[in-house]
Amino acid sequence: MKNDCIFCAMAAGEIPCFKIREDGDVIACLDINPFSRGHTLVIPKRHSTGLLDTDDATLAAVIADVKKIAAHLKEKLGADGFNVLQNNGAAAGQSVSHLHFHIIPRRNGDPLVFENGKGDMEELKALADAIRM
């Protein structure tokens, strides 16, 4: 547990949250500033900052829970779909430095939008050549 980490404190039950599930490794609670009705955070109890410093076993456990909880929310809330979001670093909008996945239930025609640009084929080809693994 990391001092001054709000999600560690929530996982330890030291500060309240609207918890909807808890198992050995993970808690899930409603986001206090939701993007949509039922917006849920899935949070491993053990502290890590984000995707890159989390061990693979923990990630496997968390993503399995994300799947289970997303299916449950979709059914219970009658959602038509959902987004899974996981931010890494302030540049990506991460505001709490403890790994978490957002599950954002979606309804047909709801107003949330993620706008993308139009790709330049030459640039995309050069980039793919430059970063291929």
Binding site for ligand 5GP (CB under 6 A): 6, 17, 29, 31-33, 41, 87, 93-96
Compute the chain's Rg from CA coordinates.
17
Q: How far apart are CA 32 and CA 41, in angstroms?
A: 10
CB nearer to ligand 5GP: pick between 12 and 124: 12
8 forms part of the interface with Zn ion (CB under 5 A): yes
CB nearer to ligand 5GP: pick between 95 and 116: 95
Cβ–Cβ < 8 Å for 62, 99: yes
Q: How far apart are CA 44 and CA 54, in angstroms?
A: 10
Interface residues for Zn ion in 69-128 (CB under 5 A)?
Answer: 98
Cβ–Cβ < 8 Å for 75, 12: no
Least distance from ligand 5GP to the Cβ atom of residue 33, Å: 4
Does the annotation mark 100 as catalytic?
Answer: yes
